[in-house]
Structure 1
Amino acid sequence: MRRKKILVAALNWGLGHAARCIPIIHALEQHNFEPVLASDGNALLLLEKEFPHLSSFELPSYNVEYSTNGSTLKWKMMWDSPRILKAIKEEKKLAKKLVEDYNLSGIISDNRFGVRYKHLNCVFITHQLNVLSGSTTYFSSKIHQKYIRKFDECWIPDAPGSKNLSGILGHLGKRADAIKYIGPLSRFKKRDLPVKYKFLILLSGPEPQRSLLEEILLKKFENTSEKVLMLRGLLGENFTPSLDNKNLVIENYKFGKELEEVLNSSENIISRSGYTSIMDFAKLEKKAFFIPTPGQFEQEYLAERLENLGIAPFCRQDKFELSLLKELKDYKGLKDIGGTSHFRELFALF
């Protein structure tokens, strides 16, 4: 019997969208579907490294790049919107071609607005029903919701009730039938391992802000007496900075079981407050210190929410000092909120 082919497309905006698609791709294989992968840049590279046996295709790039000044990010994104809309139009054409050439039976799109086809059941994955953008939040949310309605279903990787991870981002005042809460997604499993690193630094996200944070943290940790591992989040890079301090280990990236191992064997994690990272740390029940990407309202909201709940501290990028990490002892850390994805029921759509 021929396995149905399902296109799984992830947005290349950092690695979070691709990373949270990994458990969905595994589940598709376990339920006798054949996933077909699509993305661009580092997100595509991550999926190809995790699933070298699957077919993969490059989608048009949105070319997302942050401004150096976080306060101007929203306006830069608006300025770049014609280029993004053009990429969405191009990926819609490519999606149609992939459907016809590979006889696809369904599409799962993680925040790729153009990856859909009117004659197939198509799913949109997002944790943002509300898109925070300051004074323009109402309009950005309505535009996002309009795009979501073009898909047959919207899967939200979170729990539906008050015990959730995304707060107002993933929860509207009213519940629509097409919206399904599928539980938090993580590619990792919690393991009891001896502590190897006091701090694990996970860098991610578009440039130039990724590099700016790396520069800040390298300077702050250059004389550390604690064991620290920094993962730069650069998949295609060969160069790594060399330091005299042997306590600070720097690597570009780790994959699969190796990454799971260092996450489980690290006492504390320093990272951006991206939603996929939060889902991962909750699954692993880790203590984390968050540094939101400047100007990214979503990350700022999530970091503030977790601090207000007594779960994890945070600070602005330009205010980071090693002394702030002492606050970690006063926070309870992230916990697994439960909620299992019933993939058999979800995949019945196809």
Structure 2
Amino acid sequence: MVHRVYFSVCGEGYGHSSRDMAIANELTRAGALVLMGSYGYVLDRLNKSFNVIEVEREFEMVGNHGSFDLRATISRSKNTAFHISRIIQDEKKAMEDFNATCVVADGRSAAVFAAFKLGIPCVIITNQTSIAPFFNECTFFLRLIGKPVEFTLKTMTALAEEVLIPDFPPPHTVCLNTLSRSHHTMKKQRFIGPAISVNNENERLNAPYDIKRPFILTLLGGHSFRLPIFEGILKIADRFVDLNFVIFTGFRSDKIPGNVRVLEFAEDISPYMRAAELIITQAGHSTAMEILTLGKPALIIPDKGQIEQESNAARMRELGICETLDYASLEPEHLFEKIHTLLSDVRFREKAERYSEMAKKMKGPKKAADIILELSDRILCY
């Protein structure tokens, strides 16, 4: 008998798929068959390594000049709520056609309900078991709308066999402030450690041969509101005479200092992260776990209004492995001071390396795979 594991993956951002791919790779190595369900560019990403099936989007996150717009997100997603029964039925059919023996839901509620209907063991992968932080500073109307969302989250947790948190256990948890304090939820949560695909056993493995070392890596993408970070680095780069800067972004400039390299795309960013002296980036949870697993000091600049990123950044600063900046204080001189502090104070690197060792010992992807296989075996053993 073969373990058949069905993943239902949220297609908003790369974070969900990154950790699911790491776990799925472990399952494949153990001889399990894996089917990935998602949509959009994440589906295309998953299709390069796994068998895939397209599923319908449950909700769409909406931004407003770089800030997360909760009202617009709820408004745009309300029509989907009327079709959730159909989405659940589609997920149920996918599980039946695949003959799934275990289901992994990452950011997808429909998969949890479908698995429950079929009696298939279900595991939730998440770094957030409470949405309360998103509503703390909202109007009464939005807090009222948030109640059924919170109820759905609690129901999902109740129906799942396990809730796997791909993070360090307390007091080292980065996503601590977005986890529920309900005993009903806490008893289901298991901290497995970071679940990332980056191999940190050999730093020179697939190292970027065309980049002069040492270098600072900056990950910006093309969102227009991040332009001040790009411009700030260009203004202060030549003050670091012994360092190079590698910036992944869609931005362009006619005034690029000699020690700055601007790149638009890489199929795999991990070799650059592994080889960098310092990483400048946002604070998505998967990115935070990659930084900690690789043992790299970081300058974290959370996107404005992204409460999860702001929370992650604050926790990473508390853990002593990063400095932070916000857009209100994003001036070239402040940028220079933060980078200089991170490079000159060895405590940041020492603390980051301790977390890297902790991540290696926890073996998050393998731990998650073992839990999934154990649940699947409850079906297969009959």
TM range (shorter): 0.7 to 0.9
In the TM superposition, 1:235-254 aligns within 5 A as 241=252, 243=254, 245=256, 247-254=259-266
Deviations 1:35-66 (A, max 9, x none): 111212222222223x1xx2112222333221
- Distance across 2 between alignment mates of 1:142 and 1:231: 39
> Is residue 282 from structure 1 mapped to residue 292 from structure 2 by the alignment?
yes
- Distance across 2 between alignment mates of 1:320 and 1:197: 24
Deviations 1:255-274 (A, max 9, x none): 34xx3221111111111111
**How far is 1:315 from its partner?**
1.4
Deviations 1:227-273 (A, max 9, x none): 222234xxxxxx884756354333333334xx322111111111111
> Is residue 170 from structure 1 mapped to residue 149 from structure 2 by the alignment?
no
**What secondary structure, in the 3-state scheme, does the structure 1 residue paired with 2:232 have?**
helix
> Is residue 123 from structure 1 mapped to residue 123 from structure 2 by the alignment?
yes
Question: Of 207, 212, 228, which aligns to 2:245?
Answer: 228
> Is residue 310 from structure 1 mapped to residue 307 from structure 2 by the alignment?
no
**How far is 1:177 from its partner?**
4.2
**How far is 1:282 from its partner?**
0.7
Point out where structure 2 has 5 or more consecutive residues left out of the alignment: 377-382
* CA shift in 2, pair 1:299/1:83, >3 Å: farther
Who is 1:112 aligned against? 108
- Distance across 2 between alignment mates of 1:188 and 1:326: 27
Contact kept, 8 Å, 1:189 with 1:283, in 2: the verdict is no
Who is 1:347 aligned against? 373
In the TM superposition, 1:174-193 aligns within 5 A as 174=183, 176-190=186-200, 191-193=202-204
Deviations 1:199-228 (A, max 9, x none): 212236xxxxx5124422332234533522
Question: Of 219, 227, 252, which aligns to 1:202?
Answer: 219
Contact kept, 8 Å, 1:213 with 1:317, in 2: the verdict is no
Contact kept, 8 Å, 2:157 with 2:188, in 1: the verdict is no
Contact kept, 8 Å, 2:4 with 2:34, in 1: the verdict is yes
**How far is 1:318 from its partner?**
4.5
- Distance across 2 between alignment mates of 1:33 and 1:73: 40
Contact kept, 8 Å, 1:222 with 1:243, in 2: the verdict is no
**What secondary structure, in the 3-state scheme, does the structure 2 residue paired with 1:199 have?**
strand
TM-score (norm 1): 0.83
Contact kept, 8 Å, 1:268 with 1:286, in 2: the verdict is yes
After TM superposition, the structure 1 stretch with the greater mean CA deviation from structure 2, 128-137 or 58-67, is 128-137
State the structure with more CA Rg. 2
Deviations 1:276-301 (A, max 9, x none): 11111111000111111211211111
**How far is 1:197 from its partner?**
5.1
Contact kept, 8 Å, 2:87 with 2:110, in 1: the verdict is yes
Contact kept, 8 Å, 2:7 with 2:104, in 1: the verdict is yes
Identity of aligned residues (%): 20
Contact kept, 8 Å, 1:60 with 1:87, in 2: the verdict is no
* CA shift in 2, pair 1:165/1:17, >3 Å: same
Contact kept, 8 Å, 2:214 with 2:244, in 1: the verdict is yes
Deviations 1:72-128 (A, max 9, x none): 723223323404535654432221121222222221111111123221112111111
- Distance across 2 between alignment mates of 1:48 and 1:311: 35
Q: How many residues align?
A: 332
Contact kept, 8 Å, 2:174 with 2:315, in 1: the verdict is no
**What secondary structure, in the 3-state scheme, does the structure 2 residue paired with 1:313 have?**
strand
* CA shift in 2, pair 1:125/1:163, >3 Å: same
Structure with more of its chain in helix, by fraction: 2
- Distance across 1 between alignment mates of 2:34 and 2:92: 16
- Distance across 1 between alignment mates of 2:85 and 2:322: 40
Who is 1:82 aligned against? 78
**What secondary structure, in the 3-state scheme, does the structure 1 residue paired with 2:316 have?**
helix
Contact kept, 8 Å, 2:165 with 2:192, in 1: the verdict is yes
Who is 1:300 aligned against? 310
Contact kept, 8 Å, 2:177 with 2:311, in 1: the verdict is no
- Distance across 2 between alignment mates of 1:69 and 1:255: 25
- Distance across 2 between alignment mates of 1:37 and 1:261: 25
**What secondary structure, in the 3-state scheme, does the structure 1 residue paired with 2:154 have?**
helix
- Distance across 2 between alignment mates of 1:252 and 1:292: 21
- Distance across 2 between alignment mates of 1:161 and 1:294: 27
Deviations 1:158-215 (A, max 9, x none): 23332333223236363644332222211112233487352212236xxxxx512442
Who is 1:73 aligned against? 69
* CA shift in 2, pair 1:268/1:98, >3 Å: same
Point out where structure 1 has 5 or more consecutive residues left out of the alignment: 205-209, 233-238
* CA shift in 2, pair 1:135/1:104, >3 Å: same
- Distance across 2 between alignment mates of 1:346 and 1:104: 12
* CA shift in 2, pair 1:24/1:230, >3 Å: same
**How far is 1:68 from its partner?**
1.4
